[in-house]
Structure formats: structure tokens, C-alpha cells
Structure 1
Amino acid sequence: MKNKLIFLLCISVIAILLKLLSLSKFLVENFYSKFIYKKLAGGLNKLSGKLSFSLGEILIIIFAIIIILFIIFTIKNLITEKERLKILFNFLYSIICAAIIVYIIFMSIWGLNYYRMPIIDNYSKYMEKQIYNEDIYSLAEYLIKDINNLKSQIKYSEINTNYQALNRMVEVDYKNIFEEFNFLNMNYSRTKPIKSSKLFLYLQISGIYNPFTFESNVNILIPYVSFPFTVAHEISHQIGISYEDEANFLAYLVCSKSEDLFIRYSGDFEILLYILSELNRDEDYGYLISNLNEETKKEIKEYNEFWRQYSGDLSKISEKVNDTYLKANSQKEGVKSYSRVVRLLVYYYRSKNII
């Protein structure tokens, strides 16, 4: 009993120290994110990257089986054994210790990135001016012009919509943003296809990063127009970007700097969806849409219909779990944080004198 309490105390102290460290963005950014995480993740994702399959998917299944067997074993002992109080104590003790250990591992190998200095701080002088609807409309107009231009060129080009081919291209394209964001430069590996992609459609999940195996995973059943952007989004988590709006921001920049027309189109397409969701359905909105080419309008309709067919109770539970997870990890707006990429892009294009 004494040894158990000492062990619990020790791991609790470690967990508290990690939580205290998270209170200093300066320490997290300069001590953890730019140094420890880069070395740790940069080295270990080389190993997991050599596997063609997702190790994380397998570990999740194994972990789920272990938990189920542990619960069944405990219930069996509570029924058949006499020392029920001791069995119950050991069960609760094991659960508490396991939760603390998982927290320690999570924070040590990834979780502290949620407390690093946000990318938006790079554009602080452009944040003095409030963002108005006119700014968002200007951003939308800029993207629509680019989308129309790309669509007209794509008509006369051979477009590769194969996931693996796009995966390789985006992996190479990622190096283009390190000139502007050199502090993110580190070793990373390409994304892996999710074998249980059909299930993830019902969960409304396009991709997922597993911090325990340093793997970026992509749902290969999503609309092909989303492939490049989703691949870029998941790789951003791999290089230490935890906030979802920042991951979307970097994904867009990676796509926009690509030489491949379809990859650039994918970035514009996904961000336009976020922008349109932020705007009021008024005359100005109608004017914007009227300027969008017919093929992209059709793609947006098909995109929405695609995800609508997989919407249900499972997707609502998934959204609630994700919302709770994000809020627990310093993202107060939860799942709404994804759309905050619009704010980041307004500041970014202000810095470039485009809007």
C-alpha cells in the first residue's frame, strides 16, 4: 500500500510540474516546442514513417481491447472473490494511475504545443485594426478570382487526384513555407491512409494526428478536392502546430505556394468554405457567389451533400468529444476554432498589402 501511494504521489508531482510549465508560453515555445519536441518528434517520426500502415490505428484497437478485458476481469473478480473492497480499490487505483501516466506521456511528447506562442502573434501590428465584414468580403473576392483562374487552367491540364501522388507532392511543397516560418522547420513524414475510413466518415473526420506514434493520418474516402488541404493540415500537427485554425492557415499557405494547379485549388476551395460560413446571407453574399464559376458552385453543393449523408448521432457524439478535447487543451472555442483561420488570413494578407 505504501509503495502504491508513493508511486501515485510521484507521478502526480510530474503531472503538476508539466501543468505549471504550460503556464509559460515563452518557456514552452523556446524550451519545448523549438528544441525538445523538434528533436523527439523529428527522430521518432522517421521510424514510424517507415511503416506503410498506421501504427496508431492498431494501437487504438489494442488499447480498447485491453480496457474492455480489464473491466470484464474486474467485474468477474467482484462477483467471484470475497475481498471486493480491495478489488475495487485496485481497479480505481489502476484507472487513476493509468490516466495520470497517459497525461504525462501526452504532455511530454505533444500536449505542451497547445501552450506555445500562437502564430497570430507574428501579425500583432496588423491586429490593431478591427476586422469588419468588408475585410472578409475582400478576402473572399481575392480567393474567388484565384479559384476562377485556376479552374480555367485546370480544364486544359492533366490533374492527378490520386491520394498517394498528392501526398508525395504536398510533402515536398511543405518545404516552401519554411522560408517564412523557419522556426517550424523540422523533419516530418508523409501522411498515412486510414484503413477504417468509412467509420471516420460517420464521425465526420477528414484526418487525425496521433501524437503517441507521431503519425498524420488521412481519411481516403473524403472528396478528392479535399485531399491536398487535409494532407497539409495533418502534417502541420506533425511539425508542432496544435491549434486547428493555425493548422488550417499553414495548410492553405502550403497549397497556395505549390506549383501544382489542383493543390492550389484545393487550398482555395477549403478556405472559401470557411469564409462563406462566416458571412451573412445577404445581397453582398449573393454577389460573391454570382462571381464564382459554375463548376466550383457544383463542387461545393456536392461537397455539402457528401458530408450530409454521413451526418447523424455518431457524428454529433464525435463533434462533442472533439469540442471537449479542444477546450480542455487551451482552445476555448472548441470546434469553432477551425473557422478562426479566416481571421488569421485577414491579418496575413494585410501584411502583404493584398486586402
Structure 2
Amino acid sequence: MRQKTKTIIAIALPIQVILVQWIGSYPQLVEDYYSNGLYVYISRFLRILFGWIPFSFGDIIYTILTILAIRFIYKNWRTIIKKPLLLLKDIMVVFSIVFFAFHILWGMNYHRQPITWKLGIEREYTIEELVSFTRFIVAQTNQYQEELTGDTISPVHIPYTKKEIFVKTNEAYRHFAKQYPDFTYDHLSLKSSIYSVPLTFMGYGGYLNPFTNEAQVNGVTPKFRLPTVSCHEVGHQVGYSAEGATNFIGFLVASDSDDSYFKYSAYNHALGYCLTDLFYKDEERYNEIVATINMGVKENFNELRDFWKKYENPMEPLFKSVFNTFLKVNNQKEGIKSYNGVVGLMINHRKQQMGHLSNL
């Protein structure tokens, strides 16, 4: 690539940043013309293109690019030392291209209307509503744990393979789309990341590759969690970037599924968020509610705790900090805390559903 071309591409980076921020200040415009327009066709095309490949093509691309970058630095280190500004220009060129591709292929979804607007619900809730909802979630979790194990003391073990869970995730979305057509999902592209172990050390359950539109799941995660993790990552594929929103979508889709294992996974996941929230707001009632949870459910929580504890490392807070900054830069003011926003969404969605039933 000629230096003149590189200079033009590098100069385009700050222009792109300004342009994205300007367009992002009009969320309805993004909603209508990108999220429900251009992105629908881009994502479908990418899922058709890469979805049939049995392994993560995006992970392979990342690996190759990393090797090429190391090779470039190794072969050109003398020139880099003598002319560091040339390397800076090359870095700016790469950032400019990546920034453009990221926002065209998926990233503009960070600036769409929030899911509260889509479903007509709020996020605020009282402590009493949290207590009531947590009790409801405990009852549902206990019910499906007992149904699946035949007792109250055995943890749930999902008998499906990861591939079967991915297929059932697709089926769950088809079932959910009957009630919410805006969440129609086709051309499955859901895979176990080849970097599942590194993802675990970083503390992540999965991610969406924005350049290939492959939903990547941490394949070593305890299997009882995989249904909601899979539904969460597909939530990113259907165009929602906010983590609280995709946690909520994952819960709705999995709990609406015809499969009891998916329902248990959804309610167990939701219970974890509710209990954490309640612990900080009313520890006394938290303890009262915990005492009503089946031992089998608690065993699954212990399984999850032991899993993450095994991979604890000094670098995890750094990875979380970087991701927190990434989220804040991309229009999620709460950063990594946005994951916890699912509690208010779940509470208010149930209030809305109960209101609809009372009006029938």
C-alpha cells in the first residue's frame, strides 16, 4: 500500500469517530435504517457465509492476523526503531479499517433504541418488587430442578451435546419469534470458540465476532449454563449490543422454550442475578429466600463457583477493566455493570405480562 493511500486512510479515522458519534445521537435513525435495515441483510449474509463451517472461522482469522503482526514486527524491527512514525501510521491505518468494518458489520447497534423502547417496559423497580420476583424465580427454578432430577437434592446435568444445545437454541428462537417477530433468527451460526480456555481465564462466557457474525460460546462452561449463554450470544446476532439487553433476551428465549433444560438454565441464571442484587439491598430477606432454594439448585451454583474459581488469575481484573472501557466507549455508560441491568428488565416485563393477563 502506498504511503499516500495510508495517510488518507489514517486521517479518515478521526473523521469516522466524529461521524459515528453524530449518527449515534439519532437512535431512531439507527433503529430504522441500520438495525432493522442494512444490518439485517449483512448479518444474514455473514451467517450464511460462515455458519455452515463446523469451527470458528473468526477465531482462525484472529490467529492468522496475530501471527502476521508478530512476523511483521520481527522482520521490520530495525526500520521500526529508526522510523517509529511509519509504524504509528500503519497502526492508524489498521485502526481506521477495523473501526469502519466493526461499525458497518455490527457496531452501530450500540446506538440503536434500547430494548426498553422496543418492548415498552421500564428498568426501575422497588425492593419489594425485587423480593417478590426473586421468590417467583426461586419457585420456578426449584420446580424445574425437581422435575428434571426427580428429587430436591440432585444438581441438574444437561444430557445434550454442545451441538444439540446450539440446534435447540435455534428452535427456541423460532418459538419465541411467534410471539415477538422482531426477534426472528435464521441461518444458525453458533459455535464453541477454539479459545474457550483463554476466554475462561479472562472471565467471559462467550462473545460475538462482529466481522464474521459468528456467535462464540465458551465451550468449557458448565453445561447447565450453556442454553442461556447460547441464547445470549444469539441475542447479539439479532442486533442487540447492550449486555443487559442480551442477558434479558437470553432469559426470555430460554424460559419460553419447550425444553425443560432450557427453562431451568434460564431461571437458574436469572436467580443468580436476583440474589446478588438482593444481597446488597436487603441481606435479611436474602437469607430468608436462600433458605427456600432446593439443595440441587445450590449444587449447580457450587459447580459454577468452583468452575470460575479454578480459573482465577491476576490478569482477569485487567481484562474486565479493558472490556468495561470498551462498553463505555460504545454507548454503554454503566460499562460492565450493564450485565446486572437484566434484573429490572425481567421484573418489569413480568409486571407487563401480569397486567395483560389481568385485562383479559
The equivalent of 2:27 in structure 1 is 25
CA-CA distance at 1:15 after TM superposition: 4.7
The equivalent of 2:106 in structure 1 is 110
The equivalent of 2:345 in structure 1 is 344
SS at 2:315's partner residue?
A: helix
How has the CA–CA distance of structure 1 residues 285 and 41 changed in structure 2, closer, same or farther, with 3 Å as cutoff?
same
SS at 1:283's partner residue?
A: helix
SS at 1:160's partner residue?
A: coil
Q: List alignment gaps of at least 5 residues for structure 2.
A: 151-155
How has the CA–CA distance of structure 1 residues 12 and 327 changed in structure 2, closer, same or farther, with 3 Å as cutoff?
closer
The equivalent of 1:49 in structure 2 is 51
Q: Deviations over 1:136-155 (max 9, x none)?
A: 11111111111111112112
Alpha-carbon separation, structure 1, partners of 2:218 and 2:157: 24
**2:54 is matched by which residue type in structure 1?**
S
SS at 1:313's partner residue?
A: coil
How has the CA–CA distance of structure 1 residues 320 and 10 changed in structure 2, closer, same or farther, with 3 Å as cutoff?
closer
1:74-153 equivalences in 2 (<5 Å):
74-78=76-80, 84=82, 87-122=83-118, 124=120, 130-153=124-147
Alpha-carbon separation, structure 1, partners of 2:60 and 2:122: 45
1:192-231 equivalences in 2 (<5 Å):
192-231=191-230
CA-CA distance at 1:267 after TM superposition: 0.5
SS at 1:269's partner residue?
A: helix
**2:20 is matched by which residue type in structure 1?**
L
The equivalent of 1:154 in structure 2 is 148
How has the CA–CA distance of structure 1 residues 2 and 262 changed in structure 2, closer, same or farther, with 3 Å as cutoff?
closer
Is residue 69 from structure 1 mapped to residue 71 from structure 2 by the alignment?
yes
The equivalent of 2:247 in structure 1 is 248
The equivalent of 2:237 in structure 1 is 238
How has the CA–CA distance of structure 1 residues 10 and 42 changed in structure 2, closer, same or farther, with 3 Å as cutoff?
same
SS at 2:208's partner residue?
A: strand
Alpha-carbon separation, structure 2, partners of 1:126 and 1:77: 57
Q: Assess if the C-alpha contact under 8 Å between 1:109 and 1:212 holds in 2.
A: yes
The equivalent of 1:331 in structure 2 is 332
**2:159 is matched by which residue type in structure 1?**
N
1:251-262 equivalences in 2 (<5 Å):
251-262=250-261
How has the CA–CA distance of structure 1 residues 94 and 145 changed in structure 2, closer, same or farther, with 3 Å as cutoff?
same
CA-CA distance at 1:43 after TM superposition: 1.4
Alpha-carbon separation, structure 1, partners of 2:291 and 2:111: 42
**1:37 is matched by which residue type in structure 2?**
Y
1:261-272 equivalences in 2 (<5 Å):
261-272=260-271
Alpha-carbon separation, structure 2, partners of 1:215 and 1:3: 31
Count of matched residue positions in the alignment of Structure 1 and Structure 2: 347
The equivalent of 1:312 in structure 2 is 313
Query: Which is worse superposed, 316-325 or 23-32?
Result: 316-325
The equivalent of 2:188 in structure 1 is 189
Alpha-carbon separation, structure 2, partners of 1:347 and 1:37: 28
Alpha-carbon separation, structure 2, partners of 1:30 and 1:92: 37
CA-CA distance at 1:105 after TM superposition: 0.8
Given the two structures, how large is their TM-score scaled by the length of structure 1? 0.91
**1:331 is matched by which residue type in structure 2?**
Q
Alpha-carbon separation, structure 2, partners of 1:291 and 1:121: 35
CA-CA distance at 1:38 after TM superposition: 0.3
Alpha-carbon separation, structure 1, partners of 2:266 and 2:181: 21
Q: Deviations over 1:102-127 (max 9, x none)?
A: 10111111110000001112455656
How has the CA–CA distance of structure 1 residues 91 and 158 changed in structure 2, closer, same or farther, with 3 Å as cutoff?
closer
Alpha-carbon separation, structure 1, partners of 2:207 and 2:146: 33
1:268-287 equivalences in 2 (<5 Å):
268-280=267-279, 282-287=283-288
The equivalent of 1:164 in structure 2 is 163
SS at 2:354's partner residue?
A: coil
SS at 1:278's partner residue?
A: helix
Alpha-carbon separation, structure 1, partners of 2:337 and 2:99: 24
**1:216 is matched by which residue type in structure 2?**
A
CA-CA distance at 1:186 after TM superposition: 4.4
Is residue 288 from structure 1 mapped to residue 289 from structure 2 by the alignment?
yes
How has the CA–CA distance of structure 1 residues 125 and 240 changed in structure 2, closer, same or farther, with 3 Å as cutoff?
closer
Alpha-carbon separation, structure 2, partners of 1:143 and 1:324: 32
**2:333 is matched by which residue type in structure 1?**
K
**1:61 is matched by which residue type in structure 2?**
T
**2:315 is matched by which residue type in structure 1?**
L
**1:39 is matched by which residue type in structure 2?**
Y
Given the two structures, how large is their TM-score scaled by the length of structure 2? 0.90
Alpha-carbon separation, structure 2, partners of 1:137 and 1:91: 56
Alpha-carbon separation, structure 2, partners of 1:3 and 1:316: 39
Q: Deviations over 1:121-179 (max 9, x none)?
A: 2455656xx51111111111111111111112112599524211111111111112223
Q: CA RMSD in A?
A: 2.2
